[in-house]
């Protein structure tokens, strides 16, 4: 680049000042410190990061078929272990097809981590878990509504990311999955606790298995589940984008948001979720029928069940993450 050409390119600015800057740029080039080259390098890295991620996150027929196959495989394994009902398996295939098909392994791996760990933890058996399950709303295999309540927000965030390509929606997605993991781990591991849970609102002791109950073991499990999910998703994103500097902030935002969503789940479960009392045995329960008797509503709203709370909590986690990311 000559001095005349450089001066000509800057005529639209202030003459003398621009000419001075042009000479300074030429001097920097001669010294081997080209500011223009450094600027071009920075821009190209940013574009490479975006193009790398956008290459992975693309919705086409091939990705859709691969996603459907992977989702069907996971649903089949879960059915084999009796962790999903037929409707739950169908919902898992639909959820997985969209997430896997649109986001491929970038989005799929955190969701697979959630499903696999949830499946393994549900296989843990103990007398305490068996006793606690009689007070919860649903027992045994997960149905369609349970799958959608845990994975619905993740699907929405995946679609929005596919449309916008903004990283904030991946972080929101990751936080929603982290919350679902945190809640599941807290429930499955918390019911193994030797101590009775306490109500997060009244701080009084309650029966294990009731929503709103908190134990030290369950809280630790919730924290571990949220941050491990955030770690898995963060590593996947940084591997694809090449921007490892974002790893720590992504783990913190998604992990904290997921854990906070788990606490919100407990708060809502102990306040607005419908809880009932059995007229025969006098026990609190989330079931409409207990001991073959119709139960009486004692707290919350009858139309707010555990599925509603789970969905609301994943939304809260995603919104919290998007606020922190912004």
Q: Kindly list the distances between the CA atom of residue 18 and the CA atoms of 12, 177, 221, in Å, as whole numbers in the listed order.
A: 9, 53, 62
pTM: 0.79
Q: Give the 3-state secondary structure of residue 199.
A: strand
pLDDT in tens, 277-286: 888 888 888 8
Dihedrals phi, psi of 269, to nearest 5 degrees = -65, -30
Q: How far apart are CA 180 and CA 186, in angstroms?
A: 10
> Per the structure block, which two tokens stand in for 200?
């997060």
Q: Among 232, 194, 237, 233, which Cα is nearest to 215's?
A: 194
Contact 314, 259 (CB under 8 A): no
Helix axes 167-190, 247-269, angle to 10 degrees: 50
Q: Is the dihedral of CA 134, 178, 261, 192 positive or negative?
A: positive
pLDDT given at position 56:
52
Q: How far apart are CA 207 and CA 128, in angstroms?
A: 11
Q: Where are the domains of the chain?
A: 1-41, 54-325
Q: Among 299, 240, 309, which Cα is nearest to 271's?
A: 299
Please name the helix (run of DSSP H) or strand (run of DSSP E) that holds residue 168, with its range, or none: helix 167-190
Question: Which position has the token pair 């509504």?
Answer: 145
pLDDT in tens, 164-188: 888 999 999 999 999 999 999 998 8
Over its C-alpha atoms, the chain yields an Rg (Å, rounded) of 26
Q: How far apart are CA 101 and CA 107, in angstroms?
A: 9
pLDDT given at position 123:
78
pLDDT given at position 222:
97
Q: What is the DSSP letter of 41?
A: H
pLDDT given at position 30:
47
pLDDT in tens, 296-313: 998 889 999 999 999 999
pLDDT given at position 111:
94
* CB-count burial class (<10 Å; 0-12, 13-18, 19+) for 247: middle
Q: How far apart are CA 123 and CA 145, in angstroms?
A: 21
Tens of pLDDT along the chain (326 residues) come to 444 444 444 334 334 444 444 444 445 444 443 433 332 323 222 333 444 555 455 567 788 888 899 899 999 998 988 889 999 999 999 999 999 888 888 999 999 999 999 888 887 776 666 665 655 556 668 899 999 999 999 999 999 998 888 899 999 999 999 999 999 999 889 888 888 888 888 888 887 778 888 999 999 999 999 999 999 999 999 998 888 888 999 999 999 999 999 999 999 998 999 989 888 888 888 888 888 888 999 888 999 999 999 999 999 999 999 998 86
Q: What is the DSSP letter of 296?
A: E
DSSP 76-128: HHHHHTT-B-HHHHHHHHHHHHHHHHHHHHHHHHHHHHHHHHHHHHHT---HH
Q: Give the 3-state secondary structure of residue 269.
A: helix
């Amino acid at each position: 680049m000559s001095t005349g050409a450089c001066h000509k390119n800057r005529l639209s600015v202030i003459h003398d000042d621009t000419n001075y800057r042009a000479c300074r740029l030429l001097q920097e080039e001669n010294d081997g410190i080209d500011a223009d080259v450094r600027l071009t390098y920075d821009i190209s890295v940013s574009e490479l990061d975006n193009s790398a991620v956008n290459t992975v996150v693309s919705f086409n027929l091939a990705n859709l078929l691969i996603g459907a196959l992977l989702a069907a495989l996971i649903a089949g394994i879960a059915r084999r272990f009796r962790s999903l009902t037929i409707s739950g398996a169908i919902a898992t295939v639909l959820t997985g097809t969209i997430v896997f098909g649109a986001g491929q392994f970038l989005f799929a791996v955190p969701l697979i981590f959630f499903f696999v760990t949830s499946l393994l933890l549900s296989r843990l058996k103990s007398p305490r878990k068996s006793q606690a399950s009689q007070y919860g709303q649903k027992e045994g295999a997960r149905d369609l509504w349970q799958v959608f309540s845990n994975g619905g927000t993740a699907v929405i965030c995946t679609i929005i990311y596919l449309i916008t390509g903004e990283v904030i929606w991946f972080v929101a997605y990751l936080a929603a999955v982290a919350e679902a993991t945190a809640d599941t781990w807290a429930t499955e591991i918390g019911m193994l606790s030797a101590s009775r849970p306490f109500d997060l609102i009244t701080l009084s002791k309650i029966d294990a298995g009731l929503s709103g109950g908190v134990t030290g073991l369950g809280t630790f499990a919730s924290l571990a589940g949220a941050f491990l999910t955030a770690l898995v998703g963060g590593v996947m994103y940084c591997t694809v984008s090449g921007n490892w500097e974002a790893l720590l902030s992504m783990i913190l935002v998604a992990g904290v948001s997921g854990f906070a969503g788990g606490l919100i789940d407990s708060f809502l479960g102990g306040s607005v979720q419908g809880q009932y009392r059995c007229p025969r045995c006098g026990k609190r329960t989330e079931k409409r029928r207990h001991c073959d008797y119709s139960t009486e509503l004692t707290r919350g709203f009858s139309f707010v069940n555990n599925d509603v709370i789970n969905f609301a909590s994943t939304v809260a986690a995603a919104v919290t993450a998007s606020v922190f990311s912004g």
